[in-house]
Structure 1
């Protein structure tokens, strides 16, 4: 059968009539030779799947002339076997072959390629439009018709290489973005959520529309033991919306820990976001302060849906606080004499629930673009089996209603007016001055179990209590050391103890993304395990004192003796423990590495001991 090969202005006719058995033996010999050779000196490896020996030979010669290594397959089954075993950069696929044709296997080739883009060019003797369209619709990236034109084949291969290179660049960029996003998310969560207090005592549901959420929740204990809670919603969603939460969190925690009123806190946040947000962005927020006596809540609402107070039986909405302010960041209250901060005080009883939510809940839409709405929300509240089931019931109702069509960030918080919602009293009731004079001890302990490990971080609560009881608020350097010690020990117990994640994952750039993805997955699947954090402090008679931190977990432990034997070849998690050892006066492990006790003596010139 004659083949015309066009090269420049020259045409060459090749007539081949090979013996079928000899051709097959030659083909198999070439495959073995090709696959045993390195591709480092070629442009890449090409799989040619064609059942006609003479046509395979023509394609082989043309492609080899372009600097590629060629591997041949005689049918679709053989092509799949070769593709599964070896790495190819390009596939030329005949549409009609025995056993399995090209149209049947192109999808499997694409699936086996995974994230890699391996171009597939169909080789066909059909030149009518429907046949060419079928090649593309079945998953091919291009088509070349017989007889083969060398310039045309060269051009098509070059075009596929350019597309492949662009795809690889996009994939590398996507991986870098994923890594950076994972790191940014970790930093964001630690900066915003890890500082929250009593998160394990709240019912919450947060569902971001993107990786970062524009909805933010902040909590802090007041000096009198009451609980301050803020739920806010920045314009839009994603990183641009989330980034504004950082200064809001700083202002909220600073003022709440000092006992500022809800109006003063929100006015300060208003000034802060007005100074930093672009003109097209604003911050809707509601603030709820639960009294330490559990007899009332103070509510400040600026541009958010109604805050609802549900009675202890969960069958009636007994009060609501509507928005009486414009959203924050538009025009600060302090700069407008005509405006006044309105704080509404609502009486509550033990067992009542306060429901706060963003507009993403009531504006969740179904396939007909119908909103979930306020009426359905309030119906879901009273339909819940009891007050403690309100959050879960709303989540189920909204999720079922929108059927996976989330358009906006969703934020829902249910606060129970219960004794466990306010600050726990420490073992020692002596104030800082008396403790310093008598040597009495302050003690604090928290056991976090199961799914609560994903929702709460007791470190922030422990550190806040330590500062208040020791009177060390002004000792910034010493407090940063204490924070480092407690964070490292608790994180090690959760991540490596309970979750069993190897710190070695973080040794590479891609490893960081895999580490945090693994952590997020295992936390979501966690149905057991626990970590107990205990702290005690004893004042010195001069300045400073002795801090003792004990962390114990339910994990399998680890060989802590490696910290001494292999200081230069440790995983990132173990490097953290080495840092703690250098900071502490003593660091002792027991129970197979499941329990660690750290002692830290510090000096502080602030007035806690004077």
Structure 2
């Protein structure tokens, strides 16, 4: 029989400030005495006369604490305790075992089965209150931890969803394959880090034979960087500016005026490549905040072409300069984001531009294709990392004059 004890007429009908407790004992006198003491302490109390009834109640109610007698018919306290503590949905409920003073072996067995505490008979009011309050406080702290962990899981899931959205935005901004250009071999590759960065590259062939190439890196991670990339691509596709510096200034103004509640910027370089009748090509470049262009020439030459200027989106009235140079067959340009020189090894040492340039001197551009050069440059980074995880996206574009 399942019983519920309610406060007498002298008590309030409002919900007591304590917990919801279940008293399980086949002895009516013990049940009644213990329950009334608990009511006076401000708890709600329900009662069960044996273990089987107790389990039915535990599975259908949300109890804060169970006080469980050991010796009962049908199902004893050991069996109830073992069942509760083996169930992942119930094991967090504190269980205080009720036992005789001289039943030390029973106490030990209960503790081994997972009991949180025990109360000796006859009940000492002070000890009863202290042990119940301690168990309820333990459960309260545990419930707080569970709620905090749940909230943290929700926040992590939200951030993961945001990063996945940003990754999809980023990937949609990239070309599926380099364009076919009569005077150039082109290869491109991007390795993404565990979190979404904001690396971007793109190609814009023109009807007059020119090729515009963009490469950049938005600061930060998540939707913000994805939005910076999207705005940059939209500006590149929509612009009608003839001069590269004017184009860069226009994109800079657009990005500066984006208000995302935090400072974001875009390291960006745009190149205008023009074929010449003699087989050479001229390259005009402008931008800011981007690693240098590396020009590989026959004989192991590796030249740095610096592109000076602030990252776009930092200052609306920033100035940008134009850099021009000429390439002859089989000269090869390397464009990269800062993820390559900033690769770490297992000792947390950076690859750096100096070591990267030293490795580039070993490449024979006369013999290697653009794709092979790209693979060898990527191999330099992989060899340096030696398995250490990427901290940022690595983007590389190689263009070899045919």
TM bracket, shorter-chain basis: 0.5 to 0.7
2:213 and 2:136 mapped to 1: Cα distance? 66
- Post-superposition shift, 1:330? 4.0
2:163 and 2:262 mapped to 1: Cα distance? 26
- Post-superposition shift, 1:302? 2.2
Of structures 1 and 2, the larger Rg is shown by 2
Tell me which protein shows more helix as a share of its residues.
1
1:44 and 1:391 mapped to 2: Cα distance? 65
Alignment of 1:431-510 (within 5 A): none
Preserved CA contact (<8 Å) 1:46 1:88: no
Q: Which residue of 1 aligns with 2:18?
A: none
User: Of 214, 232, 237, which aligns to 1:230?
Assistant: 214
- Post-superposition shift, 1:377? 1.2
- Post-superposition shift, 1:374? 1.2
- Post-superposition shift, 1:372? 0.9
- Post-superposition shift, 1:217? 1.9
Q: 1:184 to 1:355 in 2, by over 3 A?
A: closer
Q: Which residue of 2 aligns with 1:348?
A: 328
Q: Which residue of 2 aligns with 1:167?
A: 149
2:320 and 2:139 mapped to 1: Cα distance? 71
Preserved CA contact (<8 Å) 2:187 2:374: no
User: Of 48, 63, 72, which aligns to 2:82?
Assistant: 72
1:287 and 1:308 mapped to 2: Cα distance? 15
- Post-superposition shift, 1:245? 1.9
Say whether 1:289 aligns with 2:308. no
Say whether 1:304 aligns with 2:290. yes
User: Of 202, 207, 221, which aligns to 2:192?
Assistant: 207
Alignment of 1:539-554 (within 5 A): none
Question: Where in structure 1 are there 5+ consecutive unaligned residues?
Answer: 12-25, 61-69, 103-120, 126-144, 420-610
2:66 and 2:288 mapped to 1: Cα distance? 64
2:382 and 2:244 mapped to 1: Cα distance? 33
User: Of 333, 358, 364, which aligns to 2:343?
Assistant: 364
User: Of 223, 231, 256, which aligns to 1:247?
Assistant: 231
1:519-567 alpha-carbon deviations (Å, 9 max, x no partner):
xxxxxxxxxxxxxxxxxxxxxxxxxxxxxxxxxxxxxxxxxxxxxxxxx
Say whether 1:389 aligns with 2:379. no
SS of 1:149's equivalent in the other structure is helix
User: Of 267, 273, 280, which aligns to 2:255?
Assistant: 273
Preserved CA contact (<8 Å) 1:223 1:259: no
Question: Where in structure 2 are there 5+ consecutive unaligned residues?
Answer: 1-29, 39-49, 97-106, 119-126
Q: 1:319 to 1:180 in 2, by over 3 A?
A: closer
Preserved CA contact (<8 Å) 1:221 1:228: yes
2:187 and 2:353 mapped to 1: Cα distance? 22
- Post-superposition shift, 1:342? 1.5
Question: Paired residues, what number?
Answer: 327
- What is the CA RMSD across the aligned residues, in angstroms? 4.9
Q: Which residue of 2 aligns with 1:158?
A: 140
2:115 and 2:93 mapped to 1: Cα distance? 8
1:221 and 1:413 mapped to 2: Cα distance? 19
Q: Which residue of 1 aligns with 2:396?
A: 413
Larger RCO (alpha carbons 8 Å, 6+ apart): 2
1:441-496 alpha-carbon deviations (Å, 9 max, x no partner):
xxxxxxxxxxxxxxxxxxxxxxxxxxxxxxxxxxxxxxxxxxxxxxxxxxxxxxxx
Preserved CA contact (<8 Å) 1:372 1:398: yes
SS of 1:416's equivalent in the other structure is strand
1:358 and 1:177 mapped to 2: Cα distance? 25
Preserved CA contact (<8 Å) 1:198 1:219: yes
Preserved CA contact (<8 Å) 2:70 2:78: no
Q: Which residue of 2 aligns with 1:444?
A: none
Q: Which residue of 2 aligns with 1:193?
A: 174
1:244 and 1:372 mapped to 2: Cα distance? 27
TM-score, structure 1 as length reference? 0.43
Preserved CA contact (<8 Å) 2:265 2:313: yes
1:54-105 alpha-carbon deviations (Å, 9 max, x no partner):
6996689xxxxxxxxx66259xxxx7xx55xx7546276999879xx78xxx
Q: Which residue of 2 aligns with 1:379?
A: 358
2:154 and 2:174 mapped to 1: Cα distance? 31
1:217 and 1:372 mapped to 2: Cα distance? 22
- Post-superposition shift, 1:355? 0.9
SS of 1:228's equivalent in the other structure is strand
User: Of 185, 204, 208, which aligns to 1:220?
Assistant: 204
- Post-superposition shift, 1:220? 1.7
